[in-house]
């Protein structure tokens, strides 16, 4: 069984803290004695790019967990997370604001966009697993519009046609010289996850590609 | 750019997602601290470098991140087949004469 | 005079708009739809360039991509100067500026043409033989001069202001070539419902139907039929039609590189349009419909302007409405040239005579020609021509020789030696061509990939056969790739055009023994005589002949010359053509711009630039940055009036006196989680981990299996089953890969997982005696007293209300903390710490001060003080090895004989005798400065700095047997002086380590 970090000092409160996205919220919570006194600065704050047929937009912060587990633990983890961890390569599951991406045979990325804490959910599971918080490691970018496929295809060598990369498909892959996780949220929308310090490169690449995507 | 079938992702993916990791089926001795200089040389330095069929390790580093094994022809560059890490050398190779 | 060779009613652009252009500053006008070549010909201009070696005047040979002669510079503006553009491919736009190349002072009077007169000295292999001796002169004299004289055109000297884009594409059927065959194949495949990409290098689809005026398909003339099919294909959602697009490379597993020219034909391209777009296509099936290329006749002075391929003249007439002369001659060994003569005659151009090498040419076409009143001289050859800047006459005699010569005035000469199937892409696909003795052609033989050749490139001569073959191939390709059966019917051909065989090699008058300049390769100035000379000098394989003569090695890659060259060599060797072999066809098919290859990867997209969460703060506070791999790291923070030296000195002193803040975010971080986490750590690091208590940290040292130091970093144990590992900045990715490799393939039984958290945490190092005072007001829930949180411990809690992993550790030798916070809070927590720091006089410091502070303490930096050949003992850190351990990566490697032999280089300190002298990093060290050169070098300086805290320079060095040399004087020879140094220990400051708790 993998517990959190019981030997040191509890991570209690982390979920409250990470839920707090803005100073305003922090001020409100100050009254309850759980004060975040500093603001959160997102890597791509304020950036957006539009071209004919496609828009590139940073997505708001989300809670993310890198989840690793053997097959035996999957059922328990799925129950705790409220979403069935997919077993098939290149697939995902979505339920109630929570996404579970298959990234490898024992690896998932769980994303919560509803302000709940999947790390805390995993901590309750006794079955063998490793859950590591990566909420701030990743930045998400939405590429939306009829030219989204052409935009991503400027730098991603996978076949992204709907037949091969349908809605719900997800894969770690490359975009130009950066590694990304690519998720097809809808026929005309991709969610791209990358590491924080690569987000400027990825966003700029997608913007450049978007200029040419209508062709 | 080659297409490589990842045995974990169960489909062919572009080479850009992969990285070669040297010769396969070179097992690290369990009692490595005790082996002779000659045995260490054989384990660490000596590689087969054949003309023809070679057994290689690859990693789907920008995909499922798994290491796996591949049989490849060093003359044609072609992948004959791939299989999961830890599995034995395949007894039969598809399309390869003995 | 303007447009005086344009024939009204002929061509397909009669209603097009006028386009003005200049050629060598002279204004001309053409029409939209023209190529530069057709526009020049319409103005009666044939002389467009000078040849590479002999500077001979050259004209326009072809009407397509195979053009070897008509290379010009196209200048849009100061930064947009493209050299070596084929005038036959460049589409005309209003305002186009073209300049000729390889001439001085002018095209018609070129001083370099003296090379032509001196040509006996410039024969095959000239450069190899002449500039062999003396060897030293090659670099200093010969090569620069040759380089100056060589080359066609001039490269632009400004950055390219255009942008280029790229796209990966996938399809079931990729059809390369949009002539009749390609169109039919694409149609068949497309109607099966699969994804089809159809590619053609021309602006319009139709291929040879551009000039084949007699072809009739589905009740229409060939060209009209082609435009109809093209429109139909473009309207289908499963089809992508790419015109002005060249398939330049055919790689493994049907991966094909295409370059699409998006704006080169536009007068004023839009800012958002890329100049070119690179398509990297993966296709299930490839259909090669690349056609055939007409060969020229090899005879004396066959390069004079006005001499061109018959199909080119026909294209200029039928497609562009331009007559290439008023009184043309024809020289042929092939039927298709007759069709050109007939078309010209019908358009009102006088055809002076057709000279046919064949004794008794016969057939419908010949009869029609005769009926049209055109003189036919069968069994005769053109043995010489008049005119220099433009052909003025041809001299004809029986091909068997004799004195029966006749000179006929002409202003243009059309030639055809037959057609060479374009097997370039097939050959690139690693398919093997086979020589067909009957038709004397290399044709696709053994296929290496899932592709099929159809039409001209497959040696299919008749249009109707082409169509059958193409349609069937398109259907089969689609079916093999998973398509349904198509419903549409195969297009019906009502009138054929047929290409016959022709001849290979030199024509009579240019045979062995003659000294005339009968060009085989126009662009590289290779004559039939040069090829024979290569054989005489011992070249036996065509690959050797090619390299010796440079035949086929120019930018046109011998599209018109390879077969002639091969035939001449085979003849000279008295061997069959297949025995002499065919040279390899390599990508690119035609030249590709660097811009196209680079695509988006320019400027900020050349490589990712990684910035930390605190980057903006550093920038606002005047930091100078240094590149560390892809990262930008704050190097030092100069204040007003400070240079780097002053700033770094201040930062180093301030850290030891009060405190400093340092951005350590770039360090790699890996979370090792699982019940076997400690067991895994034991195997990957030299240190013992099982007994490290949660909440404590340890310096970890990682080796490779060969026993050399690979990486290091502080590791905190957060729980029994959870470690927070740090790596060097540069090692982050490879250490993760190294750990995954062992975990997945050597130790898969261990229940442990690795997760990179490098970017989850921003890391603020607070170092110095006041560090605890600075963090204290902001930290919640952690007792940071020395008793509760000693040096080398880790706690989880909060700072500024956000979660933190707080490390008590030091890379400066002072009391220190490293504050890990979620990255999006990095900058604001830094700002809060900065505000606290200001109260104590703390500074922000950069990587330079960090390096000096650690060097003062003798702490190594892996990758600076080690180089992949340094052992634990060499570095003097044997204490990091768990002596009781029975296994870890490198445990055996480190005991290899060479790694434990005496005399290895060991890490020591160096103090210069003159404390003000700072050594150069990388400088070599010798024991005796008076020994003769080359001296025996016993080591080198790995780190060297001015240490303001020590009041002197300090250095670390790897020196042979260094630890036995304490107190010895060694020498560092430099270009201007030799520096005396004393060997010391590696710790220069606070040897007892009291500052860690100071
Ligand atoms: Zn995979």
Cβ pair C924, C972 in contact under 8 A: yes
Rounded to whole angstroms, the Cα distance separating C449 from C655 reads 66
> Which CATH homologous superfamily contains domain C296-417?
FAD/NAD(P)-binding domain (3.50.50.60)
Prediction ipTM score: 0.98
Contact assignment for C886 to B3 by CB distance below 8 Å:
no
Calculate mean pLDDT across residues C36-58: 93
Q: A23 falls in which pLDDT band (50, 70, 90)?
A: very low
pLDDT tens digits, one per residue of C239-269: 999 999 999 999 999 999 999 999 999 999 9
Distance from CA of A175 to the nearest CA of B (A): 10
What is the distance in A from the centroid of ligand 1 to the CA of C89?
A: 44
pLDDT at C133: 58
Question: Could you tell me which of C969, C65, C81 has the C-alpha nearest to residue C591?
Answer: C65
In C782-825, alpha helices (H)? none
Question: Residue B32: which residues within 8 A CB-CB, separation 6 or more?
Answer: B40, B43, C887, C891, C892
Calculate mean pLDDT across residues C217-224: 96
Q: A2 falls in which pLDDT band (50, 70, 90)?
A: very low
Domains (ranges, CATH) in chain B? Answer: 3-84 (3.30.2270.10)
Q: A32 falls in which pLDDT band (50, 70, 90)?
A: very low
Cα radius of gyration (chain A): 18
Contact list in B for residue A105 (CB cut-off 8 A) is 8, 64, 66
Closest in B33, B35, B37 to C886, CB measured: B33
Q: Please say if the pLDDT value at position B77 is more than 60.
A: yes
pLDDT tens digits, one per residue of C301-321: 999 999 999 999 999 999 999
Distance from CA of B12 to the nearest CA of A (A): 10
pLDDT tens digits, one per residue of C726-770: 999 999 999 999 999 999 999 999 999 999 999 999 999 999 999
Cβ pair C107, C99 in contact under 8 A: no
Rounded to whole angstroms, the Cα distance separating C564 from C9 reads 38
Q: Sort strands C81-86 and C71-75 into parallel, antiparallel or unpaired.
A: antiparallel
Q: Is A157 on the interface with B (CB under 8 A)?
A: yes
Query: Would the CATH topology of C18-128 be identical to that of C855-997?
Result: no
The highest-level CATH class for domain C18-128 is alpha beta
In C555-643, alpha helices (H)? 562-573, 577-580, 594-598, 615-620
pTM: 0.94
Which of A 65-94 lie inside 8 A of C, CB atoms? 66, 68, 70
pLDDT at C15: 76
Backbone angles phi, psi at C367, to 5 degrees: -60, -45
How much of chain C exceeds pLDDT 90, in percent? Answer: 87
pLDDT tens digits, one per residue of A166-178: 999 999 999 999 9
Rounded to whole angstroms, the Cα distance separating C420 from C501 reads 9
In C800-873, alpha helices (H)? 826-840, 847-856
CATH number of the structural domain C165-292+421-495: 3.50.50.60
Mean per-residue pLDDT of chain C: 94
Contact assignment for C755 to A61 by CB distance below 8 Å:
no
Q: A204 falls in which pLDDT band (50, 70, 90)?
A: very high
Burial B23-56 (b: 16+ CB within 10 A, else e): bbeeeeeeebeeeeeeebeebbeeeeeeeeebbb
Contact assignment for A105 to B8 by CB distance below 8 Å:
yes
pLDDT tens digits, one per residue of C701-723: 999 999 999 999 999 999 999 99
Q: Please say if the pLDDT value at position A5 is more than 50.
A: no
Calculate mean pLDDT across residues C905-910: 98
Fold classified for C665-841: Gyrase A; domain 2 (3.30.1360)
Q: Please say if the pLDDT value at position A20 is more than 90.
A: no
What is the distance in A from the centroid of ligand 1 to the CA of B73?
A: 21
In A108-182, alpha helices (H)? 118-123, 148-153
Lowest mean pLDDT segment, chosen from C72-81, C830-839, C964-973:
C72-81
Calculate mean pLDDT across residues A105-120: 96
Domain spans, chain C = 18-128, 165-292+421-495, 296-417, 665-841, 855-997
What is the distance in A from the centroid of ligand 1 to the CA of B18?
A: 9
Distance from CA of B63 to the nearest CA of C (A): 13
pLDDT tens digits, one per residue of C656-714: 999 999 999 999 999 999 999 999 999 999 999 999 999 999 999 999 999 999 999 99
Contact assignment for C802 to A17 by CB distance below 8 Å:
yes
Q: Is B95 on the interface with C (CB under 8 A)?
A: no
Q: Which residue has the higher pLDDT, C104 or C189?
A: C189
Calculate mean pLDDT across residues C448-453: 97
Distance from CA of C626 to the nearest CA of A (A): 16
Q: Please say if the pLDDT value at position C953 is more than 50.
A: yes
Cis, bond preceding C893 (omega within 30 deg of 0): no
pLDDT at A21: 41
Fold classified for C855-997: Gyrase A; domain 2 (3.30.1360)
Q: Please say if the pLDDT value at position C884 is more than 90.
A: yes
What dihedral angle (degrees, nearest 10) is formed by the CA atoms of A143, A147, A152, A154?
A: -140
- Using DSSP, state whether C378 is helix, strand or coil: strand
What is the distance in A from the centroid of ligand 1 to the CA of C325?
A: 64
Find, in chain C, the residue whose alpha carbon is nearest to that of B35.
Answer: C892
pLDDT at C54: 86
Rounded to whole angstroms, the Cα distance separating C400 from C82 reads 47
What are the DSSP calls for C921-943, one per residue?
TT-EEES-TTSPSSP-EEEEEEE
Question: Residue B78: which residues within 8 A CB-CB, separation 6 or more?
Answer: B72, C252
pLDDT tens digits, one per residue of C833-879: 999 999 999 999 999 999 999 999 999 999 999 999 999 999 999 99
Largest Cα–Cα distance of chain C, in whole Å? 117
Listed residues: CB within 5 A of ion ligand 1: B 6, 8-9, 60, 63-64
Closest in A107, A172, A174 to B16, CB measured: A174
What is the distance in A from the centroid of ligand 1 to the CA of B12?
A: 9
C396: how many CB neighbours lie within 10 A of its CB? 21
Q: Is B40 on the interface with C (CB under 8 A)?
A: yes
Q: Please say if the pLDDT value at position C348 is more than 60.
A: yes
pLDDT at C749: 97
Rounded to whole angstroms, the Cα distance separating C493 from C474 reads 17
Burial C32-62 (b: 16+ CB within 10 A, else e): ebbbbbbbbbbbbbbbbbbbbbbbbbbbbbb
Contact list in B for residue A172 (CB cut-off 8 A) is 17, 62-65
Distance from CA of C812 to the nearest CA of A (A): 25
Q: Please say if the pLDDT value at position C155 is more than 90.
A: no
Which residues, in sequence order, are bridge partners of residue C396? C382, C406
Backbone angles phi, psi at C51, to 5 degrees: -75, 165
Q: C13 falls in which pLDDT band (50, 70, 90)?
A: confident
Q: C486 falls in which pLDDT band (50, 70, 90)?
A: low
Q: Sort strands C412-416 and C307-309 into parallel, antiparallel or unpaired.
A: parallel
Q: Which residue has the higher pLDDT, C132 or B34?
A: B34
């Amino acid at each position: 069984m993998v517990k959190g970090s019981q030997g040191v000092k509890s991570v209690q409160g982390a979920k409250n803290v990470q839920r707090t996205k803005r100073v305003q919220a922090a001020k409100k919570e100050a009254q309850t004695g759980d004060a975040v006194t500093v603001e959160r600065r997102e890597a791509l704050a304020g950036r957006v790019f539009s071209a004919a047929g496609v828009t590139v937009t940073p997505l708001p912060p989300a809670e993310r967990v890198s989840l690793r587990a053997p097959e035996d633990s999957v059922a328990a983890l799925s129950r705790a997370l409220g979403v069935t961890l997919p077993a098939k390569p290149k697939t995902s599951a979505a339920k109630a604001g929570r996404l579970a991406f298959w990234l490898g045979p024992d690896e998932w990325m769980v994303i919560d966009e509803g302000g709940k804490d999947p790390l805390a959910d995993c901590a309750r599971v006794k079955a063998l697993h490793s859950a590591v918080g990566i909420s701030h490691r990743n930045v998400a970018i939405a590429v939306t519009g009829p030219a989204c496929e052409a935009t991503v295809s400027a730098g991603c060598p996978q076949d992204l046609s709907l037949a091969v990369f349908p809605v719900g498909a997800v894969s770690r892959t490359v975009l130009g010289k950066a590694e990304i996780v690519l998720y097809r949220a809808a026929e005309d929308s991709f969610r791209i996850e990358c590491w924080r310090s690569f987000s400027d490169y990825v966003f700029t690449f997608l913007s450049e590609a978007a200029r040419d995507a209508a062709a | 750019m080659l297409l490589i079938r990842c045995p974990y992702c169960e489909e062919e993916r572009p080479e850009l997602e992969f990285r070669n990791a040297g010769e396969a089926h070179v097992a690290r001795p369990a009692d490595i601290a005790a082996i002779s200089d000659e045995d260490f040389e054989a384990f660490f330095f000596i590689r087969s470098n054949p003309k023809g069929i070679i057994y290689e390790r690859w990693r789907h580093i920008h995909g499922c991140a798994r290491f796996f094994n591949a049989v490849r022809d060093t003359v044609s560059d072609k992948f004959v087949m791939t299989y999961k890490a830890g599995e034995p050398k395949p007894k039969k190779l598809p399309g390869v004469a003995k | 005079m303007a447009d005086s060779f344009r024939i009204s009613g002929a061509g397909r652009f009669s209603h097009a708009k006028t386009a003005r252009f200049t050629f060598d500053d002279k204004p001309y006008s053409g029409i939209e739809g023209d190529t530069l070549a057709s526009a020049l010909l319409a103005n009666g201009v044939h002389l467009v360039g000078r040849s590479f070696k002999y500077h001979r005047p050259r004209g326009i040979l072809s009407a397509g991509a195979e053009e070897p002669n008509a290379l010009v510079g196209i200048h849009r503006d100061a930064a947009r100067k493209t050299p070596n553009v084929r005038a036959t491919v460049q589409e005309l736009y209003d305002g186009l500026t073209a300049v000729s190349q390889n001439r001085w002072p002018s095209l018609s009077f070129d001083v370099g043409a003296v090379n032509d007169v001196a040509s006996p000295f410039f024969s095959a292999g000239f450069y190899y033989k002449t500039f062999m001796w003396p060897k030293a002169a090659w670099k200093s004299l010969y090569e620069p001069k040759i380089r100056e004289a060589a080359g066609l055109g001039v490269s632009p000297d400004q950055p390219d202001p255009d942008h280029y884009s790229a796209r990966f594409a996938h399809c079931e059927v990729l059809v390369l070539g949009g002539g009749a065959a390609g169109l039919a194949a694409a149609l068949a495949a497309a109607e099966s419902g699969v994804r089809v990409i159809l590619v053609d290098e021309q602006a319009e689809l139709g291929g040879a139907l551009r000039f084949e005026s007699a072809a009739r398909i589905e009740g229409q003339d060939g060209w009209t039929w082609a435009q109809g099919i093209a429109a139909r294909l473009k309207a289908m959602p499963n089809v992508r039609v790419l015109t002005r697009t060249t398939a330049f490379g055919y790689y493994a597993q049907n991966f094909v590189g295409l370059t699409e020219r998006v704006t080169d034909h536009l007068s004023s391209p839009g800012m958002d349009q890329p100049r070119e777009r690179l398509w990297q296509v993966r296709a299930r099936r490839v259909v090669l419909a690349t056609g055939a290329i007409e060969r020229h006749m090899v005879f004396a002075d066959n390069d004079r302007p006005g001499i061109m391929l018959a199909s080119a003249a026909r294209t200029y007439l039928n497609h562009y409405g331009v007559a290439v002369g008023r009184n043309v001659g024809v020289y042929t060994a092939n039927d298709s040239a007759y069709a050109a003569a007939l078309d010209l005659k019908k358009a009102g151009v006088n055809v002076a005579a057709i000279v046919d090498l064949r004794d008794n040419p016969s057939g419908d076409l010949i009869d029609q020609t005769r009926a049209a009143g055109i003189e036919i001289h069968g069994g005769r050859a053109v043995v010489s021509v008049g005119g220099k800047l433009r052909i003025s006459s041809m001299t004809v005699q029986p091909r068997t020789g004799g004195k029966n010569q006749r000179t006929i005035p002409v202003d243009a000469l059309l030639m055809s030696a037959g057609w060479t199937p374009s097997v370039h892409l097939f050959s690139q696909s690693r398919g093997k061509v086979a020589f067909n003795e009957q038709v004397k052609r290399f044709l696709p033989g053994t296929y290496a990939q899932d592709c099929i050749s159809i039409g001209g490139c497959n040696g299919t001569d008749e249009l109707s056969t082409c169509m059958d073959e193409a349609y069937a191939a398109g259907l089969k390709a689609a079916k093999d790739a998973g398509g349904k059966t198509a419903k549409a019917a195969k297009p019906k051909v009502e009138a054929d055009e047929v290409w016959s065989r022709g001849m290979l090699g030199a024509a009579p008058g240019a045979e062995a023994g003659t000294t005339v300049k009968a060009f085989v390769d126009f662009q590289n100035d290779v004559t039939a005589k040069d090829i024979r000379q290569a054989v005489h000098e011992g070249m036996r394989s065509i690959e050797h002949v090619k390299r010796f003569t440079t035949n086929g090695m120019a930018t046109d890659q011998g599209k018109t010359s390879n077969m002639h060259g091969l035939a001449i060599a085979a003849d000279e060797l008295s061997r069959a053509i297949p025995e002499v072999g065919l040279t390899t066809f390599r990508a690119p098919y035609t030249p590709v711009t660097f811009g196209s290859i680079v695509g988006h990867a320019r400027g900020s997209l050349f490589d990712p630039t990684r910035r930390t969460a605190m980057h903006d703060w550093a920038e606002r506070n005047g930091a100078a940055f240094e590149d560390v791999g892809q990262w930008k790291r704050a190097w030092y923070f100069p204040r007003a009036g400070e240079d780097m030296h002053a700033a770094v000195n201040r930062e180093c002193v301030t850290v030891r006196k009060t405190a400093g803040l340092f951005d350590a975010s770039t360090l790699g971080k890996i979370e090792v989680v699982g019940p076997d986490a400690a067991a895994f750590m034991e195997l990957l690091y030299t240190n013992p981990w099982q007994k490290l208590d949660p909440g404590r940290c340890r310096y970890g040292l990682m080796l490779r299996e060969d026993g050399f130091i690979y990486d290091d970093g502080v590791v905190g144990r957060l729980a029994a089953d959870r470690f927070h590992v740090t790596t060097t900045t540069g090692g982050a990715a490879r250490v993760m890969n190294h750990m995954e490799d062992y975990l997945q393939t050597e130790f898969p039984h261990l229940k442990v997982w690795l997760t990179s958290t490098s970017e989850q945490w921003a890391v603020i190092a607070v170092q110095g005696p006041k560090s605890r005072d600075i963090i204290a007001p902001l930290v919640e829930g952690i007792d940071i007293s020395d008793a509760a949180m000693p040096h080398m411990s880790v706690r989880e809690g909060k700072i500024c209300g956000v979660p933190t992993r707080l490390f008590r550790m030091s890379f400066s030798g002072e009391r220190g903390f490293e504050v890990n916070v979620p990255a999006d809070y990095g900058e604001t927590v830094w700002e809060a710490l900065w505000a606290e720091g200001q109260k104590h006089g703390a500074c922000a410091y950069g990587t330079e001060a960090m390096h000096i502070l650690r060097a003062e303490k003798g702490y190594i930096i892996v990758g600076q003080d080690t180089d992949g050949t340094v052992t634990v003992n060499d570095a003097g850190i044997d204490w990091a090895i768990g002596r009781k351990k029975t296994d870890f990566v490198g445990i055996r490697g480190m005991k290899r004989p060479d790694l434990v032999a005496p005399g290895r280089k060991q890490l020591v300190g160096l103090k210069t005798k003159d404390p003000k002298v700072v050594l150069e990093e990388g400088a070599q060290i010798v024991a005796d400065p008076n020994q003769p050169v080359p001296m025996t070098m016993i080591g080198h300086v790995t780190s060297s700095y001015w240490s303001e805290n020590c009041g002197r320079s300090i250095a670390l060095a790897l020196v042979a047997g260094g630890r036995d040399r304490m107190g010895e004087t060694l020498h560092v020879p430099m270009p201007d002086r030799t520096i005396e140094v004393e060997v010391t220990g590696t710790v220069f400051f606070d040897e007892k380590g009291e500052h860690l708790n100071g």
